[in-house]
């Protein structure tokens, strides 16, 4: 009995020990990391994960649309990603008569699969360290602008030597550790990506804003697309003659399931983290980014929600915009709360004290690092008002009214000497604009900016509003929307350019003054150089420890174990949600529209005809979503979750509320990845939607 108890204690200790943070570059995994992976349960060799010489798991992973991740799951180019990643495409094809958001979509044959303008996937070909090639031209006496100019010049030379747009090849040199290292990554882009399957939103978006960033979850957050290519299997622009793409490697799908303590790894394209940010930088993020974002988005979302509730047409039109806005509105709220609850600033300050004590013991270190923290304190204090105003500018002017955004974009295009296809731009931009709603967004955005931003950062048009209209922003909006050509898309389509309106049209006048104010506020980001030095000092002080680079939209893997967690308040959450839990949410909280189920979905769930092969082997139930302690962030949405054999067991789609500070500090005890169980996905495809043809494409073990 003692031996059994001791073994159990060792197992529980191992769960904590292996709660390993990190978004690791798969092209240069160290022997130490490789050893940890093997000890946790990975059965693949490093070459089976990433290889330049033969097919590997790397070849099945895609960056989806530049904002999400996905995984190729068939030899005919089928891609699984999240429902919220495919949401814009699903919306674009939806009408009140064919409401694919509400009812879902299933292409019963290849000919029924729907093309999507501007949607693409990128395959990662390889990554090379080019630090020496770049930094050899950087000297210690350069200021930040000079350094950036040199880096940009060398980067252009490196990428120009590789890029081949006609064949879909493009590259990017990206800074790591805030510019202490540089890597060049090469990608292959396929731009004919078609919608194949979407579940009804009551499954794919179940829980809505109520459950966003929360656990427990029952969201079947997936959608299915297909990559098409030319007949030579190479990238090609959309054509009805294109054929399904055949990948070098696709992912095998597992219905074996998981249990607490099982190994799991994710592959995807995490967007942005600031794990090495200073304590001053964290305070700046809270005050100058999150708070203004929360304030502005609350005002805009109220307008959109009112419009969406008024008709199905407006619900479809604004659903994607609303979802995009509310996602990081709630993220910002959760991050600020978690940073405070978990005393993240105090923890950072303790690390900074340790670093400065280490610096003080060596003259060379003092010469390099002694002033970095004092400099950061001064810089962040001096830029606080400006950066608050800058975030509000983005939220209220560029992301407020759609036609104001269109006007700003036209001005910026003229400055860059772009020559747009105006008809195409108008058709694309105006597809989802309702003028009444847009005018209300214009009004609340202008009011929000004026109310919360100091007068010194106001564009000139506020003086006109105060002088000529007694401060009446609604009267100003009436004048602008009554006179601007931008409320007349049919007239706009007939124009070859808008130069004749740039100096006379009132909305273009508002846009120009907003841009002028933006440039007046713009300043170099001096803090970044000292933040880079702080990171260098940390790594130098702990030279025996591996430090992964912050997320930057490049391919990363993370590893962990399946498992629940206990909150700081003592609430215990298990690692998966059972099928009854989604029914309970609907039946017991039916007045919440986020928990609504359509009648067909509700009947299917009540019958429990999920398919025996998709039930968990142990409890004979359908598992909906599950938890691991993998390390992910925005951009990882749609990332494949793989078991130790490299088989797909789920799709990552969210994190948990208690650890919303995760972009800045990974909490071993609390941070969790939420994934949709792949068996739930397969059951919805096969047993709810009768999508047998898609199931036949997959290799299922």
Q: Judging by DSSP bridges, how do beta strands 263-268 and 78-81 pair with one another?
A: unpaired
Interacting residues of 520 by C-beta distance below 8 A, sequence separation 6+: none
* pLDDT at residue 418, as a whole number: 63
Query: Could you tell me what percentage of the chain is helix, strand and coil, using 3-state DSSP and rounding each to the nearest 5?
Result: 50, 15, 35
SS3 278: coil
Q: Residue 596: give its domain's CATH number.
A: 2.40.10.120
Distance CA 415, CA 553 (A): 28
State whether 180 and 220 are in the same domain. Answer: no
What is the secondary structure of 286-350 as a DSSP string?
IIIIIHHHHHHHHHHHHHHHHHHHH-HHHHHHHHHHHHHHHHHHHHHHHHHHHHHHTTHHHHHHH
Distance CA 533, CA 359 (A): 12
| 221 is an active site residue | yes
Contacts of 494-502 with C-beta under 8 Å, sequence gap 24+, read 495/422, 496/422, 497/419, 497/422, 498/410, 498/422, 499/414, 502/410, 502/411, 502/414
Decide if 428 is inside a domain: yes
Q: Judging by DSSP bridges, how do beta strands 576-578 and 623-628 pair with one another?
A: antiparallel
SS3 61: strand
**Residue of 59, 76, 209, 221 marked active site:** 221
175 backbone dihedrals φ, ψ, rounded to 5°: -75, 145
Decide if 325 is inside a domain: yes
Interacting residues of 295 by C-beta distance below 8 A, sequence separation 6+: 392, 448, 452
**Residue of 191, 637, 683, 689 marked active site:** 637
User: First CA to last CA across the chain, in angstroms?
Assistant: 37
Closest CA to 248 of 106, 438, 58, 390: 58
Residue 607 · residue 658 · CB < 8 Å: no
Burial class (CB in 10 A: 0-12, 13-18, 19+), 384: middle
Which residues face 47 on adjacent strands?
Answer: none
| 332 is an active site residue | no
State whether 100 and 237 are in the same domain. Answer: yes
Q: Two tokens at 315?
A: 């619900």
Residue 563 · residue 262 · CB < 8 Å: no
Number of domains, the chain? 3
Is the peptide bond between 93 and the residue preceding it cis, with omega within 30 degrees of 0?
no
**Residue of 59, 74, 83, 84 marked active site:** 84
* pLDDT at residue 420, as a whole number: 66
Decide if 411 is inside a domain: yes
Phi-psi region of 22 (alpha: psi -120 to 50; beta: other; left: phi over 0): left
Residue 610 · residue 682 · CB < 8 Å: no
State whether 350 and 458 are in the same domain. Answer: yes
Q: Two tokens at 696?
A: 């036949």
Which residues face 194 on adjacent strands?
Answer: 115, 226
State whether 88 and 173 are in the same domain. Answer: no
Residue 90 · residue 223 · CB < 8 Å: yes
Residue with tokens 């002033």: 371
Residue 448 · residue 296 · CB < 8 Å: yes
Interacting residues of 224 by C-beta distance below 8 A, sequence separation 6+: 78, 79, 80, 81, 195, 196, 197, 198, 685, 694
Residue 639 · residue 678 · CB < 8 Å: no
Residue 22 · residue 631 · CB < 8 Å: yes
Distance CA 616, CA 122 (A): 34
Q: Name the CA radius of gyration of the chain, rounded.
A: 26
State whether 182 and 199 are in the same domain. Answer: no
State whether 450 and 593 are in the same domain. Answer: no
Closest CA to 531 of 644, 337, 362, 377: 377
Among 486, 521, 556, give the residue marking a domain's end.
Answer: 521
Decide if 535 is inside a domain: no
Angle at the Cα of 209 from the Cα atoms of 208 and 210, rounded to 5 degrees: 90
| 637 is an active site residue | yes
DSSP state of 487: G
Decide if 536 is inside a domain: no
Decide if 568 is inside a domain: yes
Distance CA 573, CA 557 (A): 25
Decide if 526 is inside a domain: no
Q: Judging by DSSP bridges, how do beta strands 105-106 and 121-129 pair with one another?
A: unpaired
**Residues in the chain with pLDDT values less than 50:** 1-19
Angle, to 10 degrees, between the axis of helix 599-607 and the axis of helix 580-588? Answer: 130
State whether 583 and 653 are in the same domain. Answer: yes
State whether 53 and 201 are in the same domain. Answer: yes
Among 145, 166, 190, give the residue marking a domain's end.
Answer: 190
Decide if 664 is inside a domain: yes
Among 160, 190, 220, give the residue marking a domain's end.
Answer: 190
* pLDDT at residue 11, as a whole number: 35
Element (H, E) at 192: strand 192-198
SS3 87: helix
State whether 199 and 138 are in the same domain. Answer: no
Closest CA to 269 of 556, 652, 560: 556
State whether 495 and 625 are in the same domain. Answer: no
State whether 172 and 218 are in the same domain. Answer: no
Q: What is the span of the domain harbouring residue 354? A: 279-521
pTM (2 d.p.): 0.93
Phi-psi region of 39 (alpha: psi -120 to 50; beta: other; left: phi over 0): alpha
State whether 13 and 71 are in the same domain. Answer: yes
């Amino acid at each position: 009995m003692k031996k059994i108890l001791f073994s159990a204690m060792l197992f529980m200790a191992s769960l904590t020990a292996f709660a390993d943070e990190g978004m690791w570059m798969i092209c240069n995994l160290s022997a130490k990391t490789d050893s940890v992976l093997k000890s946790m349960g990975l059965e693949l060799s490093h070459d089976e994960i990433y290889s330049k010489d033969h097919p590997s798991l790397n070849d099945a992973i895609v960056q989806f649309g530049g904002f999400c991740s996905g995984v190729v799951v068939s030899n005919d180019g089928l891609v699984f990603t999240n429902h919220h990643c495919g949401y814009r495409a699903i919306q674009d094809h939806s009408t009140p008569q064919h409401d694919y958001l509400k009812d879902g979509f299933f292409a019963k044959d290849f000919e029924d699969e729907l093309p999507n303008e501007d949607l693409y996937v990128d395959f990662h070909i390889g990554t090379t360290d080019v630090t020496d090639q770049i930094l050899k031209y950087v000297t210690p006496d350069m200021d930040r602008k000079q350094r950036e100019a040199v880096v940009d010049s060398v980067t252009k030379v490196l990428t120009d030597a590789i890029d081949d747009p006609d064949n879909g090849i493009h590259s990017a040199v990206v800074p790591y550790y805030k510019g202490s290292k540089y890597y060049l990554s090469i990608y292959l882009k396929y731009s004919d990506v078609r919608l194949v399957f979407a579940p009804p939103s009551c499954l794919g978006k179940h829980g809505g804003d109520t459950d966003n960033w929360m656990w427990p979850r029952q969201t079947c957050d997936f959608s299915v697309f297909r990559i098409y290519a030319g007949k030579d299997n190479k990238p090609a622009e959309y054509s009805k003659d294109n054929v399904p793409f055949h990948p070098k490697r696709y992912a095998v799908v597992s219905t074996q399931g998981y249990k607490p303590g099982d190994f799991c790894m994710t592959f995807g394209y995490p967007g942005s983290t600031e794990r090495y940010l200073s304590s001053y930088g964290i305070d700046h993020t809270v005050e100058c980014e999150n708070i203004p974002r929360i304030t502005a988005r609350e005002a805009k979302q109220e307008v959109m929600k009112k419009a969406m509730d008024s008709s199905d047409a407006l619900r479809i039109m604004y659903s994607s915009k609303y979802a995009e806005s509310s996602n990081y509105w709630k993220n910002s709220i959760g991050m600020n709360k978690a940073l405070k609850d978990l005393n993240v600033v105090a923890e950072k300050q303790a690390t900074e004290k340790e670093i400065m004590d280490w610096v003080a013991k060596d003259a060379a270190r003092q010469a390099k690092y002694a002033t970095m923290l004092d400099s950061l304190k001064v810089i962040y204090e001096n830029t606080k008002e400006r950066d608050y105003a800058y975030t509000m500018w983005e939220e209220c002017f560029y992301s407020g009214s759609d036609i104001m955004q269109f006007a700003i974009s036209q001005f910026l295009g003229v400055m860059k000497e772009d020559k747009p296809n105006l008809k195409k731009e108008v058709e694309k931009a105006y597809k989802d604009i309702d003028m009444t709603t847009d005018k209300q967004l214009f009004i609340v955005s202008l009011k929000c900016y004026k109310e919360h931003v100091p007068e010194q950062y106001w564009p000139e048009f506020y003086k006109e509003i105060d002088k000529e209209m007694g401060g009446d922003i609604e009267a100003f909006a009436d004048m602008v929307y009554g006179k601007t050509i931008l409320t007349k898309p049919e007239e706009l389509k007939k124009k070859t350019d808008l130069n004749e309106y740039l100096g006379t049209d009132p909305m273009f006048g508002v846009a120009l003054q907003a841009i002028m104010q933006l440039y007046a506020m713009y300043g170099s980001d001096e803090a970044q150089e000292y933040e880079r030095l702080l990171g260098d000092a940390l790594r130098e002080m702990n030279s025996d420890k591996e430090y992964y680079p912050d997320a930057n939209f490049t391919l990363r893997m993370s590893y962990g174990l399946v498992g629940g967690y206990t909150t700081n308040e003592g609430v215990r959450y298990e690692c998966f949600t059972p099928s009854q839990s989604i029914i309970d949410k609907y039946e017991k909280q039916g007045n919440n529209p986020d928990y609504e189920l359509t009648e067909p979905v509700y009947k299917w769930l009540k019958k429990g005809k999920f398919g025996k092969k998709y039930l968990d082997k142990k409890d004979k139930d359908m598992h909906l979503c599950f938890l691991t302690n993998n390390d992910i962030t925005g951009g990882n949405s749609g990332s494949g979750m793989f078991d130790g054999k490299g088989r797909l067991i789920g799709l990552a789609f969210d994190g948990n509320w208690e650890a919303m500070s995760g972009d800045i500090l990974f909490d071993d005890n609390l941070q969790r990845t939420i994934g949709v169980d792949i068996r739930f996905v397969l059951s919805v495809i096969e047993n709810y939607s009768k999508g047998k043809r898609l199931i036949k494409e997959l290799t299922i073990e």
